[in-house]
A = this chain, B = another copy of it.
Amino acid sequence: MRTSIATVCLSGTLEEKMHAAAEAGFDGIEVFEQDLVVSPSSPEQIRDLAAELGLSLDLYQPFRDIDAVGPEQFAANLQRAEAKFRLMDRLGITTMLVCSNVATAEIDDDEVVADQLRRLGDLASGYGVRLAYEALAWGRFINDFEHAQRIVDLADHPNVGTCLDSFHILSRAWDPAPIEDIAAEKIFFVQLADAPLLHMDVLSWSRHHRVFPGEGDFDMVGFMTHLVRAGYDGPVSLEIFNDAFRQADVHRTAVDGLRSLRWLEDQTRRALDGRPARGRLQLQALPPVEEPDGYDFVEIRTGRLGETTRLLHQLGFALGGHHQSKEHVQVWVQGPVRIIVNNAVPEDAPTEVAALGFEVADPATALERATRLSARPVSRSQRDDEQVLRGVFAPDGTEIFFCQRPGNGVPAWLGEFGADEEIETGALVTGVDHINMAQPWQHYDEAVLFYTSVLALAAQPAQDVPGPSGLVRSQVMRSANGAVRMPLNVAPTAAEQGSFVGAAYPEHVALSCTDVFAVARRARRRGLRFLPVPQNYYDDLDARFDLDDEFVAALQELHLLYDRDAEGEFLHFYTQTLGTVFFEVVERRHGYSGFGAPNAPVRLAAQYRRTHPPRTTDPRSRTGREVRGTSPIGSTGTGAP
């Protein structure tokens, strides 16, 4: 499958975009007109740069508002088009995107439009240019790909074909199946975009909220299977208008984009069992990955060893041992839960979740898949007598390791810590329920695709949780077997509320158990500092659920929170935060499937009070660039408050 990307997807200059696309491994690009117009490079220089980078220039786009106009206007449009054909000749681009008319369309007559496309085709053929006609979802008269196709067929010109854009088709909920009825040779180009299902006008939706395949809600695999069955074998190109991508690092975005196409190609191949009917499109398969069936370990790196191990002990963990060859590395265990404490950092280093180990059937294959998906491998040193661990960096920099599903329940690497048996006694914790990871807003979509494509997790519907520093967007990534749950949280970017928000937004490890009261009591005995829960919360619980008073009193005594859904109940408590990490212990009764979302605001508020000093009424904070001005005719400004 030939991969391509529109330059409008990427940030920076045209030359930066081209370098990034080539480095990411794209075969070609679409040249977005404005990117060329604002560039000091001549068309010939762009052509040469593309050749040098091994990029094909697949499409020149867009050409707008040519059709469905009166004769005079059309004559002017032909002039405008010819200037572009000359330009394309200098660029060496042979396909132009022609969008159905939005702004100037006057004549709602397919014959007229077809005739105008035919005449444009005649002009184009003189320059060896093919026209890919696309129905914009908000086109004045033509906004449906089947309608556009009828017109292309009417035009019946070798240089006039169709461009199919998944957004314009799926956003309007047109059935994509009829794509299979289009003659393959008439599909001149294909643009792909996914998007979250938003209820807003389709133009704004399209201009600001498109995402790469796998990052949204559209059925992109279904769309691709129709294309393959139609026999299309041209480039498959990404055209994404996304406010965040426009700002993000161009190299990251390009890598993210290619990953989305490789994943889609693989998924499509599987959907077709690799045997597309008339399919001429060659679909590469990726090495397979099965969903993980558990967390093998969690690594916490900290400069504060004492506080960290005390917290672990209070939660019931026992010291499993010290690593035989790696100084300052311990393992703490409780039942099946293994937490690596890595103290090989300076004292002032942050305390954070540094790495996650996932149990998979075939680590080597999983790593191969991940690297094929442009994930950057983690390289680590080990002795010959030590386990080989395979991992890659997640978009947020966390190390993700693929660990061999242990036969006897005990991973081989534990031997490197000389772990004993008797440490297993008194385990009340039964596993890792979920791990809540903070994501920088500009790489959130990238993270969703990463966990989808690399670990076969699926994104659940996102929700907003209100906190004192703003809304926190939370989306759970989950394995179908339910063994792995990982909420991704995007914290507010607020510049004004100090360290609580943004990068320092806390993450947490939630441990499961069957008797949260017992875990909490032991923790209290061992001196755990619980996250405080206000009295008002318990009063409100009473009002929301009819719980008996003893039960509520018991919850309150141990700082436990409570939630209930149709299936069952959820009891949990939080520890205070160490660095950027805290722990939660949860008990799920019956089939409760949530994460206590109604209680999240209580947690956020309590954490805010802990980490955020009462605001001083600093006047400086009230006018932004306070001392920007001094005074009109230049007082020394000393007067300004």
Contacts and interface: CB of A to CB of B under 8 A. Distances in A.
Interface of A: 11-13, 16, 19, 23, 33-34, 36-43, 76, 79-80, 83-84, 87, 198-201, 204, 207, 243, 246-252, 255, 297, 299, 301, 323, 326, 328-329, 331, 340, 342, 344, 352, 354-355, 357, 376, 378-382, 387, 389, 391, 393-399, 401, 403, 413, 416-417, 440, 442-443, 464, 466, 468-471, 492-497, 501, 503, 532, 534-537, 539-540, 542-544, 546, 601-602, 604-606, 608-609, 614-615, 617, 619, 621-641
B391 A632 contact: yes
Nearest to A602: B38
Contacts of A204: 198-200
A606 B38 contact: yes
A299 to B, nearest CB: 5
Contact of A83 (B401, B542, B602): B542
Contacts of A632: 297, 299, 340, 355, 357, 380, 389, 391, 399, 401, 403, 413
Nearest to A503: B625
A39 B640 contact: no
Contact of A495 (B398, B401, B416, B440): B440
A604 B204 CA distance: 22
Nearest to A626: B397
Contact of A537 (B38, B41, B252, B624): B38
A22 B497 CA distance: 20
Contact of A381 (B84, B492, B638): B638
Nearest to A629: B399
A329 to B, nearest CB: 3
Contact of A13 (B468, B492, B542): B468
Q: Enumerate the 4 nearest inter-chain pairs by beta-carbon distance, A residue then B residue, closest first.
A: A329-B634, A399-B629, A247-B494, A397-B625
A560 to B, nearest CB: 16
Contacts of A464: 207
Given A605-B13, A615-B12, A640-B379, A496 B625 contact: no
16 contacts: A11-B470, A12-B615, A16-B468, A38-B534, A38-B537, A39-B536, A40-B536, A87-B543, A199-B200, A247-B496, A249-B496, A251-B617, A340-B632, A355-B630, A381-B638, A394-B623
B471 A243 contact: yes
Contact of A380 (B19, B84, B609, B631): B631
B37 A534 contact: yes
Contacts of A626: 393, 397
A13 B495 contact: no
Given A299-B634, A632-B299, A250 B615 contact: yes
Contacts of A340: 632-634
A640 B352 contact: no
Contacts of A79: 546
Given A38-B602, A250-B615, A539 B494 contact: no
A567 to B, nearest CB: 18
Given A340-B632, A376-B622, A466 B34 contact: yes
Contact of A621 (B252, B544, B546): B252
Contacts of A38: 534, 536-537, 601-602, 604-606
Contact of A633 (B326, B496, B539, B604): B326
Given A393-B623, A534-B37, A633 B42 contact: no
A626 B396 CA distance: 7
Nearest to A34: B601
Nearest to A15: B614
Contacts of A617: 19, 23, 251
A232 to B, nearest CB: 30
A536 B243 contact: no
Given A243-B470, A328-B634, A416-B633, 15 more contacts: A16-B468, A83-B543, A207-B464, A247-B469, A248-B494, A249-B622, A252-B623, A299-B631, A326-B635, A354-B630, A357-B632, A378-B639, A397-B623, A397-B629, A398-B628
Contacts of A252: 621-623
A193 to B, nearest CB: 17
A327 to B, nearest CB: 8
Contact of A442 (B87, B397, B494): B494
B640 A42 contact: no
Interface centre among A41, A323, A492, A634 (most CB of B within 10 A): A634
A440 B626 CA distance: 13
A245 to B, nearest CB: 9
Given A376-B619, A495-B442, A12 B468 contact: yes
A624 B250 contact: no
A199 B198 CA distance: 11
Given A299-B633, A631-B389, A395 B247 contact: no
B534 A326 contact: no
A395 B43 CA distance: 44
Contacts of A629: 299, 301, 354-355, 378, 393, 397-399
A630 B344 CA distance: 9
Nearest to A201: B199
A632 B331 CA distance: 11
Contact of A37 (B443, B503, B537): B537
Nearest to A619: B376
